[in-house]
Copies of this chain bind each other. A is one copy, B any other.
């Protein structure tokens, strides 16, 4: 049997306090990772009067958030200033209901309640930290805005079944930045703010393992700073904000194997699961490790949303106006990994993000397309005929696609864009992580807190915990909001 190297620090194995030679750094709150969660945790810890050191493995701060679109999913309380300015009332109850649906069977009602009540105020707080939001509204259906507008529809709010239970409102609030990549400006501002309020930031610093005392209190962390191992004392707490595990393919295979179907990782490169592993090393429980975001960016152009997806049975399987990450999950689970987007000449277009998508079939009739795809005779033809008949009446009795996106597919030539495995790229990040209280306290297998240990962002399992329910901006909203809670909780200890 293999014996482990007992004294080598690694995330899966804590360092004992008795093995700490000396304290190289002594502070109140230690934050691991300077991304969306870590920056906000540090700001709040400082605001509460605690000294704070932040250790970031990359050469520059920002984390995966700085590579994102910079959308923050907020609303409720009657609407943020931006929602209200554009005529969108957004009640806390509607936001709550939507987020509970989005959380799937494992939705955390306590966490969702706190978020729904505090999200609009959180938007004001982000502005107060210096994050610029232009305040303009961009109608339509986008993956990310290509303009510098603020407010957009970023989820499944207007799509069934969400729209049937919660009054829809656009809730994606994007930092002002021309083109894709507003996360850069969001994180520049938040990281600058963390330093401005006195958090001590160390880049090129890899957290190696937690330090625990004999009573399982987390009292510090071993960090390799520019090549040198240092022992950092955290008098109040350690906050794990080191991201998810999508770039650690071995962890993906072990914990979220279905995500291996997605070739593209949504990450700044350091979502290696080390934060989650550190939490597990001291008995922290993980939840929903199998869940992941998976998108197939089949639009823009938005006209493609008027197409219909079919599987190898020639049947539809989703209302195509749902959030692209929801559609993505449904595409990925079709039998034999086969799915096609059917379009006619009027709505045909090349998806902007994957313009070389394979056109698997073209025909002057749907019969020709059906034959070219080698589908069972009559299946696709029946599906399209029924869709067309209902769409002409503005209805979709089977999948409840909203009327805005219903139009009969009747103008030849017809085509089938291939979203079969191997023909398209799916983009993923992980949603599972440490089980925490809304305050960030990491919980053990019995549900008891581990003293001195906190987690937020994708290190924790937060609002995003069900692949089918995700909306753009939910991870940044969760990370920044609950990063703040963790910073406050640790500082108050």
Contact = CB atoms under 8 A, between A and B. Distances in A.
Interface of A: 1-4, 6, 10-14, 16, 18, 104-106, 161, 214-216, 250, 253-255, 257-258, 260-261, 273, 276-278, 280-283, 285-291, 313, 315, 335-336, 376-379, 382, 386, 397-399, 435, 439, 441, 444-449, 451, 489, 492-493
A4 B449 contact: yes
Q: Which of A439, A449, A489 has the largest count of B CB atoms less than 10 A from its CB? A: A449
Nearest to A258: B105
A214 B18 contact: yes
Given A260-B105, A451-B3, A12 B397 contact: no
Contacts of A273: 445
12 contacts: A1-B441, A1-B492, A2-B448, A105-B258, A106-B257, A254-B285, A278-B445, A280-B280, A289-B289, A315-B315, A376-B397, A382-B382
Given A260-B105, A277-B445, A435-B254, A283 B282 contact: yes
Contact of A12 (B278, B283, B399): B283
Contacts of A282: 283
Nearest to A395: B376
A335 to B, nearest CB: 8
A6 to B, nearest CB: 4
Nearest to A237: B1
A281 B126 CA distance: 38
B16 A214 contact: yes
B105 A257 contact: yes
A257 B103 CA distance: 11
Nearest to A376: B397
Contacts of A445: 11-12, 273, 276-278, 280-281
A490 to B, nearest CB: 9
B106 A4 contact: no
Q: Which of A2, A278, A382 has the largest count of B CB atoms less than 10 A from its CB? A: A2
A258 B379 CA distance: 32
A439 B377 CA distance: 50
- What copy number does this chain have within its complex? 2
Given A280-B285, A282-B283, A446 B215 contact: no
Q: Which of A290, A291, A441 has the largest count of B CB atoms less than 10 A from its CB? A: A290
B449 A2 contact: yes
Contacts of A288: 290
B280 A1 contact: no
A289 B439 CA distance: 24
A382 B315 CA distance: 13
Given A3-B451, A11-B445, A216-B13, A398 B382 contact: no
Contact of A313 (B278, B287, B398): B398
Contact of A215 (B6, B214, B285, B291): B6
A367 to B, nearest CB: 16
Contact of A1 (B257, B276, B449): B449
A11 B214 contact: no
A250 B447 contact: yes
Closest 10 CB pairs of A and B: A12-B446, A277-B445, A12-B445, A105-B257, A376-B397, A280-B445, A106-B257, A12-B444, A6-B215, A105-B258
Contact of A283 (B104, B281, B489): B281
A140 to B, nearest CB: 27
Given A280-B445, A286-B286, 14 more contacts: A3-B451, A4-B449, A4-B451, A11-B445, A13-B446, A14-B283, A18-B214, A105-B260, A161-B335, A254-B285, A254-B435, A273-B445, A277-B446, A289-B290
A104 B258 CA distance: 9
Contacts of A439: 1
A489 B2 CA distance: 12
A264 to B, nearest CB: 18
Given A3-B451, A313-B398, A315-B315, A10 B446 contact: yes
A399 to B, nearest CB: 8
B287 A448 contact: no
Q: Which of A14, A288, A379, A435 has the largest count of B CB atoms less than 10 A from its CB? A: A288
Contacts of A10: 446, 448
